[in-house]
Structure 1
Amino acid sequence: MAPNGNRIVVYKGPGQVAVETVDYPKLEVPQDVASSKGMTRKADHAVILRNVSTNICGSDQHMVRGRTTAPVGQTLGHEITGEVIEKGSDVQFLEVGDICSVPFNIACGRCRNCREGATGVCLNVNPARAGSAYGYVDMGGWLGGQAEYVMVPFADFNLLKFPDRDQALEKIRDLTMLSDIFPTGYHGCYTAGVTTGSTVYIAGAGPVGLAAAHSAQLLGAAVVIVGDLNKERLQQARSFGCETVDVSENTPLDEQIRGVLGVNEVDCAVDAVGFEASAHGGGGEAPATVLNSVMTVTRAGGRLGIPGLYVTGDPGAPDEDAKEGTLKVRLGLGWAKSHAFVTGQCPVLKYNRGLMMSILHDKAQIAKAVNATVISLDDAPRGYQEFDKGAAKKYVIDPNGMIPAA
């Protein structure tokens, strides 16, 4: 018998979240999606998961800080790992009891973009724009996953089933990162061309930046340099073998890189900061700072991966242009250096199976790299507060008491 309700994390206004009880999910797509895209409301292709783990993401923090157009009442959470407890009649290849990773991208598996592997910009799951996600502003109205239960549509296509339940629970602190930050960090490095012997600059030592740094190591980088102004997060980067630079210092970034490498440029770079960037040297907010700095320190002919979030609506931006995502980017510099840029949501399905195998066979220790820290659903508001203050942790919510003790 289905539970009476579903406890879920909800945005209550700038700086505030709460755990509230909503209706238990149904095998239905949001009304706006169904009516605008011509699909049936009834979702025989969907499953309902009992969430094993669900993480707090830096992208969630942008909403909670009031830096997006998210309305009060927006449910939160797009990093989801769960156990199938109910499935629609058209779900063919998953069974009740399977534990699966949920890509944060919601994808139909049928449109042109999905067929070409661009699941981050599915054309059929969001009436507002290409691309969708659980519990996120302007992403189609799908219920968030920082909850006890969540509905996942097009389940045969979207879900990555773990091969062994006991092994999955044993390694859940690592496997929970497959829903977003591990593939996202890897995507940033892969699209930047990180390979054997590369020198790499990662801007940002938050969870995505740390995941990118670990991904660069997996890809064979010779030197991984991580930049941030948070000393605790820089120490976390050093804990697994990265070099670091402190961008709060007045010494120019390229000179700090020279101090590490002997030259003032790297082969490739990753922007894991996004639009809430702070000016180098400890100044105020400067949304284009990271984009311009990674062009400055990347060699001519190099590539830039940009998984850091940039938005089209930022009510808290420092100037009117930035409020609509228009930034003062030195495109002429990037053009002169023949740089290649890759932006946008990571297509998680492109990477998550390979990264799962790396975890299961002990080639990747992503939980250690990002300092995975388990909290209860009731502790989610505290987790948001500590994360917002710069804690060098990746908060993993255990909504149903299923994560084994460390």
Structure 2
Amino acid sequence: MSGNRAVAYLKPGTVEVRTIDFPTLELQDGPGVARDNVGRKCRHGVILKVLASNICGSDQHMVRGRTTAPEGLVLGHEITGEVVERGPDVETIEVGDIVSVPFNIACGRCRNCKERKTGICLNVNPARPGAAYGYVDMGGWVGGQAEFAMIPYADFNLLKFPDRDQARAKLLDLTMLSDIFPTGFHGVVSSGAGVGSTVYVAGAGPVGLAAAASAHLLGAAVVIVGDLNAERLAQARSFGCETVDVSQGDVGEQIAQILGEPEVDAAVDAVGFEARGHGRNAEEAPATVLNSLMSITRAGGALGIPGLYVTDDPGGIDEDAKSGTLKVRLGLGWAKSHRFTTGQCPVMQYHRGLMMAILHERVHIAKAVNATVIGIEDAPRGYAEFDQGVSRKYVLNPHGVLDGLQPV
């Protein structure tokens, strides 16, 4: 095989579906590939036929021009696929297996991997701890918004679904295991939420909705989702969340109308560095969500922060923001003894348990995030509509296996 249709970033606001090389078990030079990773042999890897690959808000940050992503970078870190080739050192994964791919690339050998901190593996990215597929400064591993993709360290990284037919039937839910479902779940777990908790989730995009569904799964008494997008707030209400429209005034006052008090037990930032200020016609203010969450989280509570923050933002509102330096009210968090958890979600801590919850009908994550299937050729439209704020989680369908599947 020679051709491989894939979605590539061209310039701010523009992606293109183009033909790239069929993957091999060796990392080739290309846009964004770390120099020291070129030629890296992956006898421990597999080639996947990509059955589903999702458009993520993190991809959208790059497409908006808010990172240093190079032209031609193949996008996509949310990958579910079928193994069509395996390297000679792969032992437990077989050709024909249907698998979920954690967006974190992890070697399974380093200190951090052995401590289950797979989001900051020390061996897969020469530039810094942690790597991902199709993402700027994350090692240059080719993205999975494509027909085929190479996955290294397959025995360690891949989550094999126990039954092929069941996996295909539930693929629209299972594809969320690669990133947004574990990421939202991690945000809620790290916020300390549990049975009987009151939880506030800032942001009703796909990760925020996944966090809200996760809070329900963990037994929260009340889940409140805040956003300024009416369509996304309606989607949150569709599965039992309370909502706050942050364009309509003080968040604490609106929470008090729901709970009888202006604070919650646990809070999740599912917005990240492109946050806007609260109130009508508010401009971008990247520390707004973090400061708001400290205000509305009870003393002794915690903030889970799965929302993305970056070290380089060419479109930042000022010189501080361009380097990821934000005006955070740390004194307020200190005074209230808040705990903060940041960074990439270590997907492998959660994905098997969440798979079981999906397979046994304990959660319907595709319905919660309004999963919407489109063809790979429609990816540019999907990116444009997602950027305009539609309340959909776009799932690319490179080989047609998702035809006819709907969220249930």
TM-score, reference length from structure 2: 0.97
Correspondence 1:27 to 2:25: yes
Structure 2 runs not aligned, ≥5 long: none
Correspondence 1:155 to 2:186: no
Residue in 1 that maps onto 2:278? 280
1:109 counterpart SS class: coil
- Distance between the aligned counterparts of 1:103 and 1:79, measured in 2? 7
Amino acid at match of 2:277: A
Q: Please list, as runs of the form range in 1=range in 2, the aligned pairs for 1:114-193 lying within 5 A after superposition.
A: 114-193=113-192
| 2:294–2:333 Cα contact (<8 Å) kept | yes
Amino acid at match of 1:19: V
Q: Deviations over 1:314-369 (max 9, x none)?
A: 00010000000000000000000000000000000000000000000000100000
How many pairs are equivalent?
402
Structure 1 runs not aligned, ≥5 long: none
| 1:170–1:404 Cα contact (<8 Å) kept | no
- Distance between the aligned counterparts of 1:20 and 1:192, measured in 2? 41
1:51 counterpart SS class: strand
| 1:77–1:145 Cα contact (<8 Å) kept | yes
Correspondence 1:268 to 2:266: yes
- Distance between the aligned counterparts of 1:178 and 1:163, measured in 2? 15
| 2:210–2:365 Cα contact (<8 Å) kept | yes
Residue in 1 that maps onto 2:381? 382
Over aligned residues, Cα RMSD in angstroms? Answer: 1.3
Residue in 1 that maps onto 2:5? 7
Q: CA deviation at 1:404?
A: 4.0
Change over 3 Å in CA distance of 1:320–1:35 after alignment to 2: closer
Residue in 2 that maps onto 1:354? 353
| 1:33–1:127 Cα contact (<8 Å) kept | no
- Distance between the aligned counterparts of 1:288 and 1:349, measured in 2? 29
Which of 247, 253, 256 in structure 1 is aligned with 2:254? Answer: 256
| 2:34–2:127 Cα contact (<8 Å) kept | no
Residue in 1 that maps onto 2:78? 79
Residue in 2 that maps onto 1:398? 397
Q: Deviations over 1:217-253 (max 9, x none)?
A: 000000000000000000000000000000011x211
| 1:34–1:40 Cα contact (<8 Å) kept | no
Amino acid at match of 1:302: G
Residue in 1 that maps onto 2:243? 244
Residue in 2 that maps onto 1:48? 47
- Distance between the aligned counterparts of 2:27 and 2:73, measured in 1? 17
Q: CA deviation at 1:29?
A: 3.2
- Distance between the aligned counterparts of 1:317 and 1:49, measured in 2? 37
| 1:33–1:125 Cα contact (<8 Å) kept | no
Change over 3 Å in CA distance of 1:344–1:156 after alignment to 2: same
- Distance between the aligned counterparts of 1:15 and 1:36, measured in 2? 30
1:379 counterpart SS class: helix
- Distance between the aligned counterparts of 2:79 and 2:293, measured in 1? 31
| 2:33–2:141 Cα contact (<8 Å) kept | no
1:169 counterpart SS class: helix
Q: Deviations over 1:164-211 (max 9, x none)?
A: 111001001100000000000000000111100000000000000000
| 2:34–2:125 Cα contact (<8 Å) kept | no
Correspondence 1:291 to 2:282: no
- Distance between the aligned counterparts of 1:355 and 1:115, measured in 2? 21
Residue in 2 that maps onto 1:106? 105
Q: CA deviation at 1:34?
A: 8.9
Change over 3 Å in CA distance of 1:279–1:29 after alignment to 2: same
Identity of matched residues, % = 71
Q: CA deviation at 1:41?
A: 2.4
Residue in 2 that maps onto 1:16? 14
| 1:33–1:126 Cα contact (<8 Å) kept | no
Residue in 2 that maps onto 1:305? 304
| 2:179–2:347 Cα contact (<8 Å) kept | yes
- Distance between the aligned counterparts of 1:29 and 1:110, measured in 2? 19
Q: CA deviation at 1:96?
A: 0.6
